A = this chain, B = another copy of it.
Amino acid sequence: MNFLTDEYLDTYVKKMEKVVALRHQIEKIVDEVMQTKKSNLFLLGVGGTIAILRPYLHMFKTMSNIEVYGENAAEFNLTGNPKLTKDSVVFIMSDSGNTKEIKDSIQLIKKIGATTIAGVGTKGAPIGEMVDYCVYYTDKDTFSADADYLVQHMFFTYLLYKRGEFPNYEKFVSNLEVMPQALAQVKVKADIQGQDFAKKYHKESYHIFTGAGNTWGETYCYSMCVLEEMQWIRAKSVHGADFFHGTLELVEEDVPVVIIKGEDESRVLMDRIEAFSKQYSKKVTVYDSKDYELKGIDEEFRSLLAPIVICAALGRINPYMEYATGHNLSFRRYYKVVEY
């Protein structure tokens, strides 16, 4: 069974090209927002969407002097954050564009008077109507996470550029133009690994996922939003920096460990975890952004792009896992099914 058809790839590339073409719209929003002085930046999401905003917290920390805060909407709605003022900018990500916690957050934020920008995966969805600026980037579909990252990369690298912290922006966005094709090739290669992973491990009742640096968010997101939510399979994700402080003791010969490697400074840590895990478990899987060629992408941007590469690669597990377990990826027993 092969789920990666030419038609799928063709559609994927076209959709991602449309996303990359949003560049000018995104730049215009950032230009407008930056016309008045802003004090700080908030990245707001919940569950998967705050997880995939984490790479940018990492990016701002290492590349920028900006004051930036990550906020989980569910917590923000109860606890607030006194640092969020009318001079703040809040960037919001929502695939469905209709997440309850995020809608509640936006209402609170609008009362404070901060500027709100959203990336929304579903055209015309409520969240897009509620914020000051919105980019609708694709109809909600199975490619949404890759698109999320592309949109976010464009927003935040342009913001850095405008602040004088990313002089190579022009070169970077011209790289992005070839990303849809490069990502399609990632999918072709990862499809084999995805088939293999599903074949070997679809009966496992428990997985350890670990990652660090700018791919930690995707590690957390994939294990929780795909394995737990869509397959009802137990998946413990642990940050690489904590792996050797507890979770390591669970590693045994027959315990599946999935190691996610990007190309930033944290790679050293993941190398160490890989060596350890391979010594004590026979079920180690490594997803490494370095395994993908990314034709046309300059070496200097590979690390920055690793979260998208890993996301595109991991996504190829899904159809094979669904087929092997027989468990429909879109079934939920509770989420948006029952009241709670």
Contact = CB atoms under 8 A, between A and B. Distances in A.
A275 interface: yes
Interface in A269-288: 269, 272, 275-276, 279-280
A83 to B, nearest CB: 8
- Most B C-beta atoms less than 10 A away, residue of A235, A241, A251: A241
Contact of A249 (B212, B229, B247): B229
Q: How large is the interface on A (under 10, 10 to 19, 20 to 34, 35 or more residues)?
A: 35 or more
Contacts of A245: 46-48, 224-225, 229, 335
Nearest to A208: B234
A229 B241 contact: no
Contacts of A249: 228-229, 232, 332-335
A41 B316 CA distance: 42
Contact of A79 (B48, B225, B265, B335): B265
Contacts of A82: 61-62, 65
A74 interface: yes
A246 B78 contact: no
Give this chain's copy count. 2
Contact of A75 (B65, B212, B224, B244): B212
A104 interface: no
A242 B235 CA distance: 14
B229 A265 contact: no
Interface string A162-174: 0000000000000
B241 A275 contact: no
Interface in A37-70: 46-48, 50, 58, 61-62, 65, 67
Nearest to A63: B82
A262 to B, nearest CB: 12
B206 A251 contact: no
Contacts of A242: 46-47, 50, 72, 74, 224
Contacts of A238: 224
Interface string A76-111: 001111110000000000000000000000000000
7 contacts: A62-B80, A73-B241, A74-B242, A75-B239, A78-B268, A235-B236, A249-B333
Given A78-B213, A224-B247, A232-B250, 20 more contacts: A46-B241, A46-B242, A47-B246, A58-B79, A61-B79, A62-B80, A65-B82, A65-B83, A72-B242, A75-B241, A78-B265, A79-B265, A79-B266, A224-B245, A225-B245, A249-B332, A249-B335, A272-B340, A276-B334, A280-B334
